[in-house]
Amino acid sequence: MANKIRMGMVGGGSGAFIGAVHRTAAEMTGDIELAAGAFSSDAVASRAFGVELGLQASRSYGTFAEMFAKEANLPQDERIQCVSIVTPNDSHADISCAALAAGFHVICDKPLAGHLEDAIRIEDAVTDSGLLFGLTHTYTGYPLVIEARERIAAGEIGDVRRVAVSYLQDWLSRDEDTKANKQAIWRSDPARTGESGAFADIGTHAFNLVEFTTGLRITEVAAELRTVIPGRAIDDDGAAMFHLSNGASGLLSASQVCSGAVNALRIEIYGDSGSICWAQEEPNTMTIRHRGQPDQVFRPGANVGYLSDAAIAVCRTPAGHPEGYIEAFANLYAGFARAVRDYPAQNGTGCASVADGIATMRFIRAALTSSRNQSAWTKLASG
Ligand SMILES: NC(=O)c1ccc[n+]([C@@H]2O[C@H](COP(=O)([O-])OP(=O)(O)OC[C@H]3O[C@@H](n4cnc5c(N)ncnc54)[C@H](O)[C@@H]3O)[C@@H](O)[C@H]2O)c1
């Protein structure tokens, strides 16, 4: 245990959704130990939950500020080295900036922040501190998503000319959905979730997947964001046409009101000589198609004999056994742990970078602006 990377967690308390996934994934790496935490906005509940998880009472903190102050005063070989942030979007910036100022590397869940201005605060804090920052866009941890990126980069489908990406869910498709569910309540409140609803919550995953797999940047959008359920204060459905940095076109749909769609993230990338398709609900299948030829179906597995080194490096199960959601998260944590070990070398964290996160926030801002202007083409601000 002494050699493991020591991690503190903020958020992920009793009844939370993603915190437990992060803890399991971090543990699955075999390289990270949860050493401290401030798990809830309620100080008493936070301390009790840390003890329930098996942490020392002295390192089960009431607030993140207390954790950063007390951990920074511990001997270097005892104090936490990094912080995992799994709180609602509105708090990502304050917690990230405080963690970086106290000298801790940060791994944070998406979206980078609730508002672009807060995201820029994080970027400035990363630059000023010189510390590591990783953003967990889960789907980039799947072996076949990495394989898609490798094959597109190697020219297997030619120059990208069109992308179709959609992320559709139904868990907010009824009015009552945002009244009783803890996760839904804050996601439908602009004060907690930020400037966008569905587009920020899941549209940012779709956006990141496009940029990750194609290696291109989305440069402008023509979007319509809608609130389908009357009385909601924020978008729950929308679509954006977009242009990529090589001149290609695409369409991104993100909606949480599509009855029957549970977690339907799907991407199709068309090049001038072939296409690649991957869907999150069947993550162990990737298809490559060429005109006039039978489809090629790819599966994960270190020993299938045809995957790239990059994909093989993140295969966790024997060929023929499924690689899933938690394995994908674990791959992000494994990359982050390696980066912490290698620090101060900066060879990437295996997660999305703060710049990638800023790009998602510029996308949200441009989509909202476009939508307010009759879906006029709107550039993603640079800088
Ligand atoms: N990568 C993914 O696929 C994915 C999936 C789900 C959620 N997320 C992201 O993870 C984050 C959390 O989402 P969730 O659904 O788990 O939310 P949640 O409401 O289930 O959990 C949030 C937790 O944070 C705690 N918290 C809030 N403020 C705090 C503070 N100041 N200090 C300490 N703890 C605090 C809450 O008490 C709660 O335990 C969001 O940013 C969300 O977008 C990402």
- CB-based contacts of 304: which residues, under 8 Å, 6+ apart? 319
Query: Residue 381: what pLDDT?
Result: 86
Atom of ligand 1 nearest to the CA of 19: 16
Instruction: Answer yes or no: is the C-beta of 12 below 6 A from any ligand 1 atom.
Output: yes
pLDDT in tens, 55-91: 999 999 999 999 999 999 999 999 999 999 999 999 9
Atom of ligand 1 nearest to the CA of 94: 31
Average model confidence (pLDDT) across the chain:
97
- Separation of CA 72 and ligand 1 centre (Å): 24
My answer on whether 367 and 301 are in the same domain is yes
Say if strands 249-255 and 237-244 run parallel, antiparallel, or are unpaired.
antiparallel
Q: Give the confidence band of 180 by pLDDT, cuts at 50, 70, 90.
A: confident
Query: Residue 280: what pLDDT?
Result: 98
Which amino acid would we find at residue 179? Answer: K
| Range 246-269 average pLDDT | 98
pTM strictly above 0.95: yes
Domain assignment present for 208: yes
Instruction: Answer yes or no: is the C-beta of 88 below 6 A from any ligand 1 atom.
Output: yes
CATH number at residue 214: 3.30.360.10
Phi and psi, residue 292, nearest 5°: 80, 5
Domain assignment present for 347: yes
pLDDT in tens, 195-225: 999 999 999 999 999 999 999 999 999 999 9
Number of domains in the chain: 2
- Tell me the C-alpha distance between 141 and 326, whole Å: 9
My answer on whether 107 and 205 are in the same domain is no
Domain assignment present for 379: no
Query: Residue 1: what pLDDT?
Result: 43
My answer on whether 251 and 274 are in the same domain is yes
CATH number at residue 344: 3.40.50.720
pLDDT in tens, 117-140: 999 999 999 999 999 999 999 999
My answer on whether 171 and 117 are in the same domain is no
Domain assignment present for 152: yes
Instruction: Answer yes or no: is the C-beta of 369 below 6 A from any ligand 1 atom.
Output: no
Query: Residue 254: what pLDDT?
Result: 98
Domain assignment present for 381: no
Higher pLDDT, 143 or 180: 143
Question: 69-97 burial, b if ≥16 CB within 10 A, otherwise e?
Answer: eebeeeeeeebbbbbbbbbbbbbbbbbbb
| Range 281-297 average pLDDT | 98
Domain assignment present for 330: no
My answer on whether 68 and 23 are in the same domain is yes
Mutation test residue for ligand 1: of 49, 87, 189, the one with most atoms within 8 Å of CB? 87
- Separation of CA 383 and ligand 1 centre (Å): 29
Instruction: Answer yes or no: is the C-beta of 17 below 6 A from any ligand 1 atom.
Output: yes
| Range 19-47 average pLDDT | 98
- Separation of CA 308 and ligand 1 centre (Å): 34
Instruction: Answer yes or no: is the C-beta of 280 below 6 A from any ligand 1 atom.
Output: no
Atom of ligand 1 nearest to the CA of 64: 32
Mutation test residue for ligand 1: of 9, 10, 18, the one with most atoms within 8 Å of CB? 18
C-alpha pair distances (Å), 344 with each of 122, 125, 348: 19, 16, 11
Domain of 63, in residue numbers: 5-139+340-352
- Separation of CA 379 and ligand 1 centre (Å): 30
